Amino acid sequence: MAASVRHLISIDDLSDADLSALVARGAAFSAGTAGRPAPLDGDIVGVYFSKTSTRTRTAFSSGALRLGARIVSYGPGDLQLNTGETSEDTGRVMSRMLEVLVARTAGDPAEMRAWAAQDRMAVINAMSAEEHPTQALTDLTTLYRHFGRVEGLRVLYVGEGNNTAAALALALTRFPGAELELRTPPGYGLAAAYRERAAAQAGRYGSVFRERHDMADLPAGLDAVYTTRWQTTGTSKPDPHWRSVFAPFQVTAALWESSPKAVFLHDLPAHRGDEVTAEVLDGPASIAFEQAENKMHSAMAVLEWCRA
């Protein structure tokens, strides 16, 4: 059993050293230079997803197996949470049988914090309603792998200020000289708490954080353009006319006229013709599928870190 248990429920749970080390370690796994460690040999990893997932669930499952662990999988109807057991009791029970629990929920991080209120089992947030921290680690790993650095990179994020955007804002603003500009539809911006935290971090770390709700006067000379699908997993939009609000925020090839060297990122799944054109997603600037593969490499780095 590990000497200590480390949880990853928010990017805020990581020190600066941890954040940098996880990005570099994920890139090493991606590059094939990390060796073949088996730090989870003999461990049991629980994988609980109450919402659909292709990439994240496969990434953590395959990553855990590659690190020597065995897997117990749970679907949305499998746990006694559905019959009224408290999150605290669920965490206490699971911690006596599992070394790690990887979880995706539709709720706020409080449920995961309740599971983490013990010192035997690591808890990893594989997406909650507010934040998707392991996606941000994947994103930074992908940028690091492509550019050899994160510091000083200029990133434009276009689309809803969802849990992916929230985690990216908390992570990227910790790297000096990095610039993150969000262009979010009116009424669909980053939650105020995350916007304030990202702006405060930018001031402390010497990075830049901005958010606007239009597509005018876009920055030039970007290193990366990032979008996500318009319908975040597990959510719906009450406004029946929301598509007309989002339409101007589609990522098209025109964005590359002022940033010809920019790469394209997408956390997938993508809806070609909605948030991005097929020309961009399948074009030469796109590293979205390398980004998807890096979910596994980043997951391995996180699992290794939790059990160190």
Q: What is the tens place of the pLDDT at every residue in 179-188?
A: 999 999 999 9
6 lies in some domain: no
Both 153 and 119 in one domain: the answer is no
4 lies in some domain: no
Q: Is the predicted pLDDT of residue 68 greater than 60, yes or no?
A: yes
Q: Residue 233: its pLDDT value, please?
A: 63
Region 261-283 average pLDDT: 97
**Helix, strand, coil % over all residues of the chain, rounded to 5:** 40, 15, 45
Q: Is the predicted pLDDT of residue 308 greater than 90, yes or no?
A: no
Both 139 and 27 in one domain: the answer is no
Q: What angle do CA 6, 31, 128 make, to 5 degrees?
A: 40
299 lies in some domain: yes
Q: What is the CATH number of the domain that holds 261?
A: 3.40.50.1370
Both 149 and 264 in one domain: the answer is yes
Range(s) of the domain holding residue 188: 135-292
- Please count the structural domains in the chain: 2
Q: Is the predicted pLDDT of residue 3 greater than 60, yes or no?
A: no
Confidence band, pLDDT 50/70/90 cuts, at residue 2? very low
Both 299 and 190 in one domain: the answer is no
118 lies in some domain: yes
Confidence band, pLDDT 50/70/90 cuts, at residue 108? confident
Both 114 and 215 in one domain: the answer is no
Region 166-179 average pLDDT: 98
Prediction pTM value: 0.95
Both 213 and 148 in one domain: the answer is yes
How far apart CA 225 and CA 228 sit, in angstroms, is 11
Region 93-120 average pLDDT: 92
Both 119 and 155 in one domain: the answer is no
How far apart CA 181 and CA 177 sit, in angstroms, is 13
Quickly tell me which residue has 């965490």 as its tokens.
Answer: 91
How far apart CA 233 and CA 112 sit, in angstroms, is 18
Confidence band, pLDDT 50/70/90 cuts, at residue 107? confident
How far apart CA 255 and CA 263 sit, in angstroms, is 11
Percent of the chain whose predicted confidence (pLDDT) is above 70? 98
Instruction: Give me 97's structure tokens.
Output: 């049988």
Both 279 and 251 in one domain: the answer is yes
**Do the beta carbons of residue 205 and residue 176 sit within 8 Å?**
yes
Region 106-134 average pLDDT: 92
Both 268 and 222 in one domain: the answer is yes
Percent of the chain whose predicted confidence (pLDDT) is above 90? 87
212 lies in some domain: yes
Q: Residue 1: its pLDDT value, please?
A: 43
Q: Residue 92: its pLDDT value, please?
A: 93
- What rounded mean pLDDT belongs to the chain? 95
What is the residue-wise DSSP string for 71-87?
Answer: EEEE-TTSSGGGGT--H
Region 107-124 average pLDDT: 91
Instruction: Give me 277's structure tokens.
Output: 């054109």
Residue type, 287: I
pLDDT in tens, 208-236: 999 999 999 999 999 999 999 998 766 67
Of the listed ranges 77-81, 190-194, 269-273, 286-290, the least confidently predicted one is 77-81
Q: What is the Cα Rg of the chain in Å? A: 19
Confidence band, pLDDT 50/70/90 cuts, at residue 281? very high
5 lies in some domain: no
275 lies in some domain: yes
Q: Is the predicted pLDDT of residue 103 greater than 90, yes or no?
A: yes
End-to-end CA distance of the chain: 10
Residue type, 119: D
Both 99 and 160 in one domain: the answer is no
Both 284 and 150 in one domain: the answer is yes
Q: Residue 200: its pLDDT value, please?
A: 98
Both 169 and 253 in one domain: the answer is yes
